[in-house]
Amino acid sequence: MTHLLSIADLNRADIEQLHQLTDTFVEVSRRSIPKVPALRGKNVVWLFYEDSTRTRLSFEQAAKRLSADTMTFSVSSSSVKKGESLRDTVLTIEAMGVDAIVVRHGSAGVPWQIARWLEDRVHIINAGDGWHEHPTQALLDSYTIRSERGSLEGMHIGIVGDVKHSRVARSDVLAYTALGAQVTLVAPPTLLPPSLAGWPVTVSHDLDAVLPSLDVVGILRMQQERMTENLVPSLREYTSLYGLTLRRVDTMRDDALIMHPGPVNRGVEISAEVADLPRSKIVDQVRNGVATRMAVLYLLLGQGVDKILDPGVPEEAPDGEHSDVSVTDSESSVGVTG
Amino acid sequence: MAERERRSTPPFGGVFIARSQVMDAEDVRRAVWRMAHEIIEHNHGLDGVVLVGLQTGGVGLAEAFAEALAEIGGRTPPVGTLDVALFRDDIGIRPVLPEAVTDIPMDLNGAIVVLVDDVLYTGRTIRAALDALNAYGRPRSVQLAVMVDRGHRELPIRPDYVGKNLPTRRDEVVNVSPTGVDLGEVVKP
């Protein structure tokens, strides 16, 4: 794996490997000194063409805990104001010598375009491209459910709200279904994409009918900044039909989880009291986000997977040290550890 | 379980073919008991002693030490496990993935930490382990117990307690298990 552009590029085993790696970094984050030297000397650039608080801070925290160096490129204070093109900006950043670019952009496909321009010399991580995908959010959402319930296999997960404008919904659907869950989208017809052909989901317009059967309900933010046309009559009407209120929570199963990718519009898609319930995992999602992004950065920049998937790796390392091997007897271990 | 599965995935995976048995199960048990006596003798008891098994080969051995120390010394020392992958010096050179989650349930400040591993070879794992321990506190001292010292050190590191000194060639593989210690090689499937 050179880049993380889309959940669609990952199979179930890849996602599960990232989740296992995330376990390790959750433990690292709990240490009294929550920092490891794994990515010393690596340089990561944040290329954010769109506003972001939690994703950028979360990536920043993840990189620092891995001892990587970071640079921030924000559009408002850059030569983009002077008319520099995206391609020139990216080539300039590459020439400074970076190992990874974490990109968020308002247009779908930009991370792919950058990867092509740089001919895969730099690792590209998609931190959200338009309405298209937000893969690290899907990894942390599925990790959060896995750490609460052990597995997503056979679960019924509802994604409620503004699916049309939501890159989180697209990535979540791919991750949840890859891990064996069944997904139902719940939204008014105007907030669904024009075509759902090929999506492995069922669709409902009635939240109250779906809610009692859900193991997890994922609430999406009403993206008012992307609403250029009147897709809902009013926010109050949306809240009365699709807002998660205490009354609706009472109809849910006792062990059902509530998730929200943030930022939360309290009182719109979720009521203030519901957001603070113990079964609401919003804060855990943020915490797991840091560990998830550590796993992604480590996997790409530590050059783990590439060589692991490559059967041509020499059995004896260049320094003749520590070649891991295994035996069929689960009780024994082959010790060539340094 | 997870780390076992990962270890058996190619190209980590391979089949170990034993060429000769160096220690049998009884030899391993006796070595654990002798080293347990030495740990108590060296530290004048078990005050402040904690065991930290290195993932994955040292974990079972650390538990065996804990059992022996409990019988000889009258109480069970705390046991933790440590994965040193993120502190290795070959990240970016070779595939290095953590094999298991680190679990240090005790305070290491002022403790006497006995690191436990199955085989001591280049010493690079132990160097990484010494770095990793820093994140958990400042032990009074750190000691090293291994079942097999196979030589070929690349760093100035030596064990305090050794089950067996075993001269080896670099292309040989040492396999430590509760049923014995075997010398052999790994054949790719």
Residues with Cβ within 8 Å of A76's Cβ and at least 6 positions away in sequence, in order, are: none
Q: How far is Cα A155 from Cα A179, in angstroms, rounded to an integer?
A: 10
Q: CB of A333 within 8 Å of any CB in chain B?
A: yes
Cα separation, B172 vs A261, whole angstroms: 52
- Token pair recorded at residue B144: 């090293």
Write down the pLDDT at residue A227: 67
Q: Is B91 part of the contact surface with chain A (CB cutoff 8 Å)?
A: yes
Q: Which two tokens stand for residue B38?
A: 């030495």
Q: In this predicted structure, which of A64-68, A231-235, B68-72 has the lowest mean pLDDT?
A: A231-235
Residues in chain B with CB shorter than 8 Å from the CB of A303 are: 91-92, 95
Selected residue with higher pLDDT from B161 and B4: B161
Chain B closest-CA separation from residue A182 CA (Å)? 25
Q: How far apart are CA B184 and CA A261, in angstroms?
A: 52
> A135-281: which CATH topology?
Rossmann fold (3.40.50)
Name residue A299's amino acid. Answer: L
What structural domains and CATH numbers belong to chain B? 2-180 (3.40.50.2020)
Structure ipTM over 0.90, yes or no: no
Of A17-26, A214-223, A327-336, B47-56, the one with minimum mean pLDDT is A327-336
Q: How confident is the model over B140-188, as pLDDT tens digits?
A: 999 999 999 999 999 999 999 999 999 999 888 899 988 999 998 887 7
CA distance A56 to A48: 8
Task: Say whether residue A108 is in contact with chain B using an 8 A CB cutoff.
Answer: no
B47-100 pLDDT, tens digit per residue, is 999 999 998 889 999 999 999 999 999 999 999 999 998 998 888 776 677 878
How does pLDDT run across A143-191, given as a tens digit for each residue? 999 999 999 999 999 999 999 999 999 999 999 999 999 999 999 999 9
Which residue is associated with the tokens 């933790």? B80
Q: Do B98 and A21 touch (CB under 8 A)?
A: yes
| Residue B12 in this model has a pLDDT that exceeds 90 | no
A313 pLDDT above the threshold of 50 = no
Mapping DSSP to helix (H, G, I), strand (E, B) and coil, where does residue A318 land?
Answer: coil
Which residue from B68, B59, B54, B36 is spatially nearest to B132, judged by alpha carbons? B54
Amino acid found at B36: A
Q: A7-134+286-304 sits in which CATH class?
A: alpha beta
Domains A7-134+286-304 and A135-281 share a fold: yes
Distance from CA of B75 to the nearest CA of A (A): 26
Question: What span, in angstroms and rounded, lies between the C-alpha atoms of B67 and A113?
Answer: 59
Distance of CA B163 to the CA centre of its chain: 11
Q: How many Å apart are CA B131 and CA B158, to the nearest integer?
A: 16
**Chain B: closest CA distance from residue A141 (Å):** 20
Query: Is the peptide bond prior to B102 cis by the omega test (within 30 degrees of 0)?
Result: no
Closest CA to A139 of A21, A39, A255: A21
The domain ranges of chain A are 7-134+286-304, 135-281
DSSP states of B120-176 as a string?
ESSSHHHHHHHHHHHTT---SEEEEEEEEE-----SS---SEEEEE----TT-EEEE
Whether omega before B139 lies within 30 degrees of 0, making that bond cis, reads: no
Q: How confident is residue A228, by pLDDT bands cut at 50, 70 and 90?
A: low
* Residue B45 to residue A76: CA distance in whole angstroms: 65
* Percent of chain A residues past pLDDT 70, beyond the cut: 88
Distance of alpha carbon B71 from alpha carbon B81, whole angstroms: 21
Residue B5 is predicted with a pLDDT of 35
Whole-Å CA distances, B125 to A236, A321, B56, B96: 61, 10, 12, 12
- Residue with tokens 């046309």, as numbered in its chain: A229
Query: What b-and-e string marks burial along A68-82, b requiring 16 or more CB atoms within 10 Å of the CB?
Result: bebeebeeeeeebee
From the candidates A22, A326, A329, A330, which should be mutated to test the interface with B, based on the most B CB atoms within 10 A?
A326
In this complex, the residue of A31, A39, A308 whose CB is nearest that of residue B136 is A31
CA–CA separation, B6 and B3 (whole Å): 5
Compute the count of residue pairs across chains A and B with CB atoms less than 8 Å apart. Answer: 173
Please identify among residues 63-82 of chain A the ones whose CB lies closer than 8 Å to any CB of chain B: 66
**How is residue B175 written in tokens?**
């396999």
| The three-state (H, E, C) secondary structure of A125-136, written as one string | EEEEECCCECHH
End-to-end Cα separation, chain A, in angstroms: 28
* Closest listed residue to residue B85, CA positions, set B138, B132, B42, B53: B132
Contacts of B120 in chain A (CB under 8 A): 337-338
CA proximity to A279, closest of A141, A105, A148: A148
